[in-house]
Amino acid sequence: MQIINGFDRLFTYFIGAACVMLFAVMIASVFGQVIMRYVFDSPMSWSEELARYAMAWQAMLAAALCMQRRLHLALFPVEALPDRFRAIAHVIGIAAIAVLLAVLFWHSWDLASRSGRQTTPGLGLSMMWVYASLPIGFGLMLVGLALSVVSRPDDLGKPGTPIDHPLSDTPS
């Protein structure tokens, strides 16, 4: 169990760090574009595209973190069920999510592999790198889902737990 908890912490740390870096790229890109456009009257042709693709990658990586901590929105409140049905409904929900993520992973892998010849207009980057955010994100969501079940099996049927953060006043 100690190995699983260590992997859980590494997963949170590295994906969280990647999200922070992508957010910094987005802010620097947009801020640089504003400065170049309105101060120097010479806009950059690639900065908006870079910010957009960084946001797509960040959204997929952050979704994996949310999946790991069970913080996604639920359409059906499991907490409203009686105790004896709560864990069963949660297991059925986890299985349905895993199947959906596997299907999305398969089709997004196909999409990313087919887009290798296209390039982005501003950066000249292969669209495969942009579309790769989808299978990587869905794959990491599957890993996060597995980690949430394996590292916290007693929490089945309970709401998500926030990630420990120095600024957070609610400990997990």
Domain ranges of the chain: 2-155
From first to last of the 172 residues of the chain, give the pLDDT tens digit: 788 888 888 998 999 999 999 999 999 999 999 999 898 988 888 889 999 999 999 999 999 998 888 777 666 677 777 877 877 888 888 899 999 999 999 999 999 999 888 888 888 889 999 999 999 999 999 999 998 888 776 666 555 554 444 444 444 4
pLDDT of 153 reads 66
Return the closest-CA partner of residue 26 out of 49, 4, 54.
Answer: 54
Q: What is the pLDDT of residue 137?
A: 95
Query: Taking a C-beta distance cutoff of 8 angstroms, is the pair 123, 44 a contact?
Result: no
For the chain, the first-to-last Cα distance in angstroms comes to: 18
pTM over 0.85: no
Cβ neighbors of 122 (< 8 A, separation 6 or more) are 45, 46, 47, 48, 49, 50
Nearest CA to 136 out of 112, 117, 160 is that of 112
Between CA 28 and CA 34, with CA 33 as vertex, the angle to 5 degrees is 100
Residue 131 and residue 57 in contact, taking contact as beta carbons nearer than 8 Å: no
